[in-house]
Amino acid sequence: MRKRSLALACASVAAGLLLGPVPAAHAAVAPVLYGAGSADSPASGLVSVSASSDSAITSITAHLYAPGSAADAPEVTEVSDFHLTSGTDRQGTWRTSSPLRMADLGT
């Protein structure tokens, strides 16, 4: 149950990527989210996000929702302590600094 809940919760991540300033002459291309889920192993509790953008990604915030929840359901938690672990600030992988614990979901 524990691994399943974390996997489903991570699959429900909506990651908000904040970009640095974009020159007016260039239309901003929306960031591309390649994946979000458990970093290393589900038991680690760390969340990993892979993304790219035409501008530097300056922060990432993941909004997590309960598995199977309605579209208008409140989020279970918000995570924003991501740091770049590989790649560049324009294309890379970010991971949370501390493990995510969601007691309400049994993880």
Per-residue pLDDT tens for 49-102? 999 999 999 999 988 888 888 989 999 889 999 999 999 999 999 999 998 877
Q: Which residue from 79, 77, 92, 86 is spatially nearest to 35, judged by alpha carbons?
A: 92
The pLDDT confidence band at residue 107, using thresholds 50, 70 and 90, is low
Distance from C-alpha of 61 to C-alpha of 35, rounded to nearest angstrom: 14
- Least confident residue range of 3-7, 35-39, 45-49, 89-93: 3-7
Tokens of 59: 């922060």
If phi > 0 it is left, if psi is from -120 to 50 it is alpha, else beta; for residue 87 that is left
Q: Are 44 and 34 in contact (CB under 8 A)?
A: no
3 state DSSP class of 104: helix
